[in-house]
Every structure is written in C-alpha cells, then in structure tokens.
Amino acid sequence: MFSRFTQAIVRPPARNFANGLTTVDLGVPNVALALAQHAAYCAALARHGCTVIALPADSAHPDSTFVEDTALILPGRGAIITHPGAASRAGEVHAIRDALASFFPELPEITTPGALDAGDVCEAGDVVFIGISERTNADGARQLAAWLARYGVAARLVDIRRTPGILHLKSGVVALDANRLLSIKALAGHAAFADMDVLRVPADEEYAANSVRVNDVIFVAEGYPLTHALLRQAGYALEPVAMSEFAKMDGGLSCLSLRF
C-alpha cells in the first residue's frame, strides 16, 4: 500500500530565488511566474487531499522553496532532518524542524561528516533507494540507512555521480507504487532496481521523470506528452503541473513539498 498524504509543507520562492544554485542553462527564472506556478502546485495538492502548510518565503536561503531536500518523512512513522550537501542550504533545516516538531516529537538529524539531500531518497514501500551524489555522501547514506532500519525499511545505494544531467537521484527515478518505478533510461537497468517494475521515460523527456504520486494521482511536469501517455497507459490519473521556472533552478516538482 502506498502512503496516503494528508499534509504538505511548502515554501514559496523568495524574491531572490534566481540567486540559488543551478547547473542548467535554461535562463533566469521569472519570480512572478514562479510564484504563480507555486500557487497552482499548492492548489493541486489541496485538491488531492493535502492540507497545505505554507512557510514564509526566506530570502536568506534562495533555494529554500525546494523543501523536500531538508527532511525525510516516513508518513505515520517518523521523520529525520537532513544535512544538505550544499553549504548555502544548510540553514534551511531550522524552519523545517520547527514546522515538523508538532507532528513528529522525535526529530533526529543527519550530522557531519554525513551530508544528505532528501532529493536523493526515493521511497518505494519498504525499500528506500539512496543516491550517492554531489550532495549526498556515503556517511549521510549510512546514517539514514541506520535510521530507516529502526522502522524495518531497507536501504539500497545508487551511485549517480557518473549519471549526467541529474542533480539528485529523484531527478531521474521515482516510485509510482511500492513495486513500480518511473526512471530515465540511464538508471533504469541499475542492479538496485532489479526486482522492481521499471517504466522508462521516453527519450528527450528526462525532466518528466521527477513526478510525484499524491494519493490517487501522479503529479507530472506539464509539456511532456510522451511521458503523460506512458503513465496514462499504465493506468494512472495525472495532474500536470507547470514547472518551467523551477526547472531553471534545477528543481523538479517533488522538491517543492514535504508530504506526509
């Protein structure tokens, strides 16, 4: 059974959102349009059963709209605060800790020398895949795996440091169901996924891999018709979301919320 979400923490982009980190060359984001896209994303979360908890925008952290990286939540079970791998993002965790404290009395954290962005964590039922990336190191993965083991959840590592074009594991692979993944071709054959049913994102639509299952629908980036067709054919209902301004800052749609 895939988790049902009732809450989603979000944080609108700050006015200096364009000063955040990015590795892509898609131009400078338009903050007004980013705010409109964010508002539409929040409305979609609400339509699909989530109470949306919107934290105030934080211009001290231009990447703070990407809240997913700052915590890993096992809905109904527990949550852990991460140690984001980019120095400019480390301070983002404080507001997230405060927001989660009323839901999760115990909030352990990943500590140095561990580093981990939860965008590198792909939850699929009782298995969790942890990407080793430019942001998540082996020690961070080890700490997370030890915490997951307390809940009977197994961790498998996926090294993405040589996979071009993705910042985080979940930029390239996400879970649609407990035993079904949506993956870019470069990762689809990875040994860690050998016992999973893997749907491959069509060529030239790699950005659409970062979709999110929200209760009965899949949130998927707007403008990727082949991926939409693939998902519909597999029986999923879709909620297309406009993501152009977040894509310019290396963000996918999963990173815009913490769902539980």
User: Looking at the annotation, which residues are catalytic?
Assistant: 168, 255
Residue with tokens 């990015």: 22
Find the residue with minimal CB distance to ligand CIR: 119
Give the one residue of 12, 119, 131, 172 binding ligand CIR; rule: CB under 6 A: 119
Give the one residue of 3, 16, 22, 137 binding ligand CIR; rule: CB under 6 A: 22
* Helix, strand, coil fractions of the chain, as percent rounded to 5: 30, 25, 45
Token output for 54: 């919107």
For the chain, how many helices (H) and strands (E)? 6, 14
Region of 52-60, 141-149, 198-206, 248-256 interacting with ligand CIR (CB under 6 A): 248-256
Site string for ligand CIR, 59-88 (x = CB under 6 A): ----x--x-xx----------------x--
Token output for 44: 């979609």
Q: Report the alpha-carbon distance of residue 34 to residue 214 in Å, rounded.
A: 21
From the CB of 117, what's the least distance to ligand CIR, in Å? Answer: 6
From the CB of 253, what's the least distance to ligand CIR, in Å? Answer: 9
**Backbone phi and psi for residue 135, each to the nearest 5 degrees, phi listed first:** -110, -25
Q: Report the alpha-carbon distance of residue 145 to residue 202 in Å, rounded.
A: 32
Q: Which is closer to ligand CIR, CB of 104 or CB of 246?
A: 246
Give the one residue of 12, 114, 172, 251 binding ligand CIR; rule: CB under 6 A: 251
Nearest to 197 by CA among 161, 234, 225: 234
Residues binding ligand CIR (CB under 6 A): 20-22, 63, 66, 68-69, 86, 89, 119, 167-168, 170-171, 249-252, 255
